[in-house]
Structure 1
Amino acid sequence: MDLSDILAAIGIVLLALGGGTFWSFSTGVMPGLGRTDDQTFVSSMRSINRAVVNPLFLLPIFLPPLPLVWAGLIDLDGPRGWLLVAAGVVFFCGAVIVTVGGNVPLNTALEQSSSSPSASRVAFERRWNVLNGVRSVSSVASIVLAVLALAV
């Protein structure tokens, strides 16, 4: 096992953890919160958004592109390398950039909102869910690319 293999394994594990988080929110957490009243929704999302600011949550959300791209650059002379780089880039664009540019600002706006729970929810929920859907699909695509890299 060489450095590229180790980095690819680390990247894929982190990718699966981060992607699984997005997928879980899309398929379970947000549909469940969607069934609650406005006050419960807003207070729950505020609580979740505060709780996720910790290394165990944030590392799999932001770190996967680094080992994937590094592993890919080591093996860039073949399809494995290009697939690993593509997996890292897709995750970076579809998950990291979307998180930083979309979901985090919405989280911050929800936290700071002095509007009614109903107005706060309307300004947050649909946009946040669409962005999280982008993160979920991008994560699945990244995982597929990374797994294909192992098969070539």
Structure 2
Amino acid sequence: MDLSDILAALGLVLLALGGGTFWSFSTGVMPGLGRTDDETFVSSMRSINRAVVNPLFLLPIFLPPVPLVWAGLLDLDDPRGWMLVASGVVFFVGVIVVTGAGNVPLNNALDGSTSSSTAARAAFERRWNALNGVRSLSSVAAIVLAVLALVV
């Protein structure tokens, strides 16, 4: 096992943790919150958005491209290297960029909203869920690329 293998395995573990978070929100958390009243929805999302600002949550969300691209750059003479780079890029664009440009601004707007819970939810829920769907699918694509790279 060389450095590229270790980095690729680390990247895949981080991808799985981060991707699992988005998938869980898409398939369980948000559908569950979607069944609540506006006040419960808004207060719950505000609480969740504050709680997730911690290293255990943020590292698998923002770190996976580093070991993946690094591992890929060590193996660019092999298709495996290109798949690892692609995995890191897909995750970076589909998760990190989408999070920073879309989900975080929506979270901040919800947190600072002085509108009614009904209006705050209407401005947040549908857009946030769509963006989280992009993050979920991008995570799955990145995981598939990383797994393929490891079994090639």
Secondary structure of the structure 1 residue equivalent to 2:76: coil
Partner of 2:75: 75
Q: Which amino acid aligns with 1:135?
A: R
Structure 2: segments with no counterpart, 5+ residues: none
Q: Deviations over 1:80-106 (max 9, x none)?
A: 000000000000000000000000000
RMSD (CA atoms): 0.3
Distance 2:90 2:76 in 1: 17
Structure 1: segments with no counterpart, 5+ residues: none
Distance 1:60 1:120 in 2: 29
Secondary structure of the structure 2 residue equivalent to 1:71: helix
Distance 1:69 1:115 in 2: 43
Secondary structure of the structure 1 residue equivalent to 2:146: helix
Q: Please identify runs of 4+ aligned residues in structure 1 that moved more than 4 A.
A: none
Q: Deviations over 1:114-142 (max 9, x none)?
A: 00000000000000000000000000000
Partner of 1:36: 36
Q: TM-score scaled to structure 2, two decimals?
A: 1.00
TM alignment of 1:72-151, pairs within 5 A: 72-151=72-151
Q: Deviations over 1:6-30 (max 9, x none)?
A: 1001100000000000000000000
Partner of 1:27: 27
Q: How far off is 1:65 after superposition?
A: 0.3
Distance 1:9 1:147 in 2: 9
Secondary structure of the structure 2 residue equivalent to 1:76: coil
Secondary structure of the structure 1 residue equivalent to 2:104: helix
Q: What's the % identity of the aligned pairs?
A: 83
Q: Which amino acid aligns with 1:89?
A: V
